[in-house]
Amino acid sequence: MKEGTPSRTSLKIARMGVYYGRHPDFRDICPPGLADTNQKLLEAVGLLPSVAHRVYGSPAFDKLIEVTDRHLAPGANTHFPLRKRFVEDQVRAAGVQQLLVVGAGLDSLAVRLVHDTEMRCVEVDHPATGNVKVRAVNGSGLAHERLELIQADLAKVPLSEALTGSTWDSSVAGVAVAEGLLMYLDDSAVRGLFRALHELMPPGSRFVFSWLRAGPDGPVMTGWIRSVIAAGGEPMRWWIRDKELAGFAAELGWRLLPAVDLRVTYLDGTSIAEAGMTDWEGLSVVERVD
């Protein structure tokens, strides 16, 4: 994370939400309102230049994205809209009254849900990105009395400390989200996050998260792509094998819920039913058991 600069990955994902949310092939698998809300947030802080709309609507950009997907990051085009959709569906399915988004970045999940549900929503992010998000929410007119934004570097400040004095209520069932975050923390910070959420939410609460999938030789994500992301100031530090995830979660007081088949759930019957799917990142939900 580069001090004073919002997370590049977060910005890229938020911008691509505008693209995917309007693209004829992807808009139906995106969560409702993704493109419009991302656009409002980004425009409020000058992070979506007006030329972006012409670019995103052009056949040349479609081609670039398609070629990049085919040759460099197979399945990424399907993965990011599906990740957004999966996370939102799992948050809604948790059926709870409060949402905590850790490493929220410029993502619009809490902003969308606070306006569409009765949930109380709290976000935490590194100050470099979190301060920009505050300006984006206020400047876009999307602030809400049930939405609270907290800035903390979770590598230095424990989550429970960051939430001290906030509206988060540890006695009420909740759902936490860490989307695209765990891979940027080290092992002790990841374990610390699972432990902190265990303390911050009563049994029955859920944690929805994405994780970098490892094979026998480390992450399955192409090495040079990790290097490019690291060069932007966000090196990846944590990954796990599928077969180790349930045990890892159980050690920390969480039960891994059955995996969702994203293709069957979201792609069957759509124009992209046969699209590639990346295996770089897993999407999981755990429930607090004790």
Ligand X SMILES: C[S@@+](CC[C@H](N)C(=O)[O-])C[C@H]1O[C@@H](n2cnc3c(N)ncnc32)[C@H](O)[C@@H]1O
The reply to whether 154 sits near ligand X by the rule CB under 6 A is yes
Residues written for the chain: 290
Q: Which of 180, 211, 280, 281 binds ligand X (CB under 6 A)?
A: 180
The reply to whether 13 sits near ligand X by the rule CB under 6 A is yes
Contact set for ligand X, span 181-200 (CB under 6 A): 181, 184
Shortest distance, CB of residue 277 to ligand X, whole angstroms?
18
Q: Which of 15, 23, 120, 126 binds ligand X (CB under 6 A)?
A: 126
By rule CB under 6 A, what string of x and - marks binding of each residue 58-97 to ligand X? ----------------------------------------
State the CB neighbour count (10 A cutoff) for residue 268. Answer: 9
Q: Single out the residue of 135, 151, 204 nearest to residue 3, CA to CA.
A: 151
Shortest distance, CB of residue 247 to ligand X, whole angstroms?
25
The reply to whether 219 sits near ligand X by the rule CB under 6 A is no
Size of the site for ligand X (CB under 6 A): 19
If the CB atoms of residues 31 and 105 are measured against ligand X, the closer one turns out to be 105
**DSSP-derived 3-state class of residue 72:** coil
List Cα–Cα distances, 201 to 148, 206, 285, in angstroms: 17, 8, 15
The reply to whether 281 sits near ligand X by the rule CB under 6 A is no
Concatenating the DSSP letter of every residue in 140-165 gives TT---TTEEEEE--TTTS-HHHHTTT
Shortest distance, CB of residue 270 to ligand X, whole angstroms?
22
If the CB atoms of residues 9 and 39 are measured against ligand X, the closer one turns out to be 9
| Position with the least CB separation from ligand X | 105
List Cα–Cα distances, 139 to 135, 145, 190, 261, in angstroms: 6, 15, 33, 38
Region of 37 (left: φ > 0; alpha: ψ -120 to 50; beta: rest) is alpha
The reply to whether 7 sits near ligand X by the rule CB under 6 A is yes
Beta strand ranges found along the chain (DSSP E)? 98-102, 120-125, 147-151, 174-178, 206-212, 214-215, 218-219, 254-256, 281-288
Q: Could you tell me which residues come within 8 angstroms of residue 88 by beta carbon, excluding any fewer than 6 positions away?
A: 31, 109, 112, 113
By rule CB under 6 A, what string of x and - marks binding of each residue 90-119 to ligand X? -------------xxx-x------------
Shortest distance, CB of residue 56 to ligand X, whole angstroms?
17
Binding stretches for ligand X (CB under 6 A)? 1, 7, 9-10, 13, 103-105, 107, 125-126, 129, 153-155, 179-181, 184
